[in-house]
Amino acid sequence: MAIKYKWLAQQLRKQIYDNMENGIPKLPTEKELCDRYRVSRQTVRQSLALLEQEGLISRRQGSGSYITGLKSGSNVVAALVTDEHIAPCASLLGELRSALSQRGFSLSVHVTGNRTFDEREILVRLLESPPRALLAEGVKSALPSPNLDLYRRLRALGVPMVFLRGGYGAFPQEPCIKDDNLGGSALLTRHLLEQGHREIGGIFRMDDQPGLERYQGFMEAMHRAGYRVMDRQICWYASGELEELSQGRPDFLRKMAAQQLQGCTAVLCHDDEIAYWLSRELQLPGGELSPVAIAACESTYAGTGNMLAFTTLERRPRQLANALVQAVTDRLKGLSVPSRELPLELAVRESTRRPPEIN
């Protein structure tokens, strides 16, 4: 009777959710379903058509019925980001929203401002109404997190997690999709060496996991090339000190430029935001640009439209968004997802032009 296919669809919904829990990406074949439930092939096909209409499966000719990761009702993926307004993040969120929408999911964005207090407030709200999955950019990811208890509670509720840029060491089993920071900073360092620089300084963010990786890549590249780096040539800053710069209080950076980076012909910077502020401190009298070459490991927004276009690192368009969406949807299907480091390419610009004195 006609109601039979609806009964079978309900049984298959339960199997879909069980499969998602156990990492099984497909439903059994039509013949297997016929034999298991003692129904006709027509009933099986009606049930599968209903599930496909609900977005729970995707049928592929000659291949079978694949689980999409969607569930009846809300299919919201929550994204925790430090700043949604900087150009790369705004672009990434747009790409994520579009790609997830094509798969039947919506994206809700929550901004932490790179503050653990704000992160905690957001996680508390998410516990009240858990999303289907969580994309999280770690807050001060090089430091111990005071919010691990809330992440654990979300995990206990069955919310899959994927970390962006930097994860938390307490969750090594959760995939993290990030740039190859170590390899990228080594690539920039080799570029500076090829330009003739030998006294190269570095300035990195100390409370950010990518900052530690970029420092490591820089030091390894210098040592492999046979050049030393004095401790005083490495500068460290915390996230909060960036606010001082935007408020017109550059004292800490001015001191670094005058004391630690004195004598350097090039500086490798954590990103183009700190590179921009450093270039201002290195300006010569009369506003002339300093001959010191500056390279940035990440392009955010500060290097565009200001006095200098910084040599930096780039990834292929939409590469990060595609990797994140694939990781999230695979986790929702119950599949195992490994962490990934995305390769970076050198983008040479004005800031590392070869000065005449070191030709």
Model pLDDT for residues 110-153, shown as the tens digit of each residue: 999 999 999 999 999 999 999 999 999 999 999 999 999 999 99
- Residue 273 above 60 pLDDT? yes
Q: How many helices (H) and strands (E) does the chain have?
A: 12, 14
Asked whether the beta carbons of 281 and 254 are under 8 A apart, the reply is yes
CATH code of residue 326: 3.40.50.2300
Asked whether the beta carbons of 170 and 141 are under 8 A apart, the reply is no
For the chain, first and last CA: distance in Å? Answer: 86
Asked whether the beta carbons of 184 and 214 are under 8 A apart, the reply is yes
- Residue 203 above 50 pLDDT? yes
Domain, as residue range, for 33: 3-67
Q: Are residues 102 and 59 in the same domain?
A: no
The tens digit of pLDDT for each residue in 13-47 reads 888 878 877 778 889 998 889 989 999 999 999 88
Q: Are residues 46 and 120 in the same domain?
A: no
User: Of 67, 92, 122, which marks where a domain is finished?
Assistant: 67
What single-letter DSSP state applies at residue 233?
A: G
Q: Are residues 335 and 303 in the same domain?
A: no
Q: Are residues 219 and 351 in the same domain?
A: yes
Q: Are residues 170 and 190 in the same domain?
A: no
- Closest Cα to residue 12, out of 60, 65, 61? 65
Binning pLDDT at 50, 70 and 90, where does residue 205 land?
Answer: very high
Q: Are residues 145 and 46 in the same domain?
A: no
Confidence (pTM): 0.82
Q: Are residues 187 and 302 in the same domain?
A: yes
Q: Are residues 51 and 145 in the same domain?
A: no
Q: Are residues 321 and 296 in the same domain?
A: no
Q: Are residues 260 and 327 in the same domain?
A: no
Q: Provide the strand spans (E) within the chain.
A: 57-60, 64-67, 76-81, 106-111, 133-137, 161-164, 176-179, 200-205, 234-237, 266-269, 293-296, 312-314, 340-342, 345-347
Question: Would you state the pLDDT for residue 50?
Answer: 87
From 7-11, 61-65, 236-240, the region with the lowest mean pLDDT? 61-65
Q: What is the mean pLDDT of residues 220-236?
A: 97
Between CA 234 and CA 239 the distance in angstroms is 17
Amino acid at 113: G
The tens digit of pLDDT for each residue in 65-79 reads 888 877 766 789 999
Contacts of 40 (CB under 8 A, 6+ apart): 34
Total number of domains in the chain:
3
